[in-house]
Structure 1
């Protein structure tokens, strides 16, 4: 019988040796161990961290936009009122947006502009009263109640006093 003739098993000696070598290799190596629970936990933690990072970035970007619009950075500044008007009485502190409350000064603004600021801050406009105050521009904001150092939050009502002239 020649070395390349078929054996009773139906394989050549080379094929039999190859099959034996593959079987030995397959049975001798350990199967890899996968920590599927750990992989799932890491994936979820990474996903959560990524989502939290994006949410924080959006909040910071949105908060920055809200701060810029609340302070009137995009608007032309109103002419300052005369020195007899107390800025602290026409300023309210808006809380709940950032760690520290944001001071919003309405001194010298007309009623329409003040209403716009209240809408942006999601505050309710309460009573509007005209008072006489020396050295103020007629129909401009002289005082808001509550004013600083009290803090107002979203949904609170703010009363306004306007200059009668």
Structure 2
């Protein structure tokens, strides 16, 4: 056999050696083993931890904001505005009295009934009658009046009547 004759396999010696080398390489490497359930668990755990971290940061920031509003900057709790500092014409403001005697004005003028009910539940106040009143320039469904309202102080357990804007 000379170098010009055709090989029985149809390949030159270099090509045969190259194909053999590629086959040895392909057969020597193990196929990767993926642990799909483990990857999914890790991803879900990381996602849950991330969501918990963001939620905690928001809660801490919100709590810090509320505490900063109640503080005078020295770490001592500042007394909220007394009832005498609230305008008598503000019919949508409620003065809540705390156990230590401090009062805090809460303005309900941009709240809807659902938000007001949730706040009453939180402060242990009871929702009384709900009426609607036509008031010019207000958004329908928002609180325009409370009874009792500032300067009357509201204690936990008191019933509060709500007047909503009819449009």
Q: TM-score, normalised by structure 2?
A: 0.49
Q: TM-score, normalised by structure 1?
A: 0.49
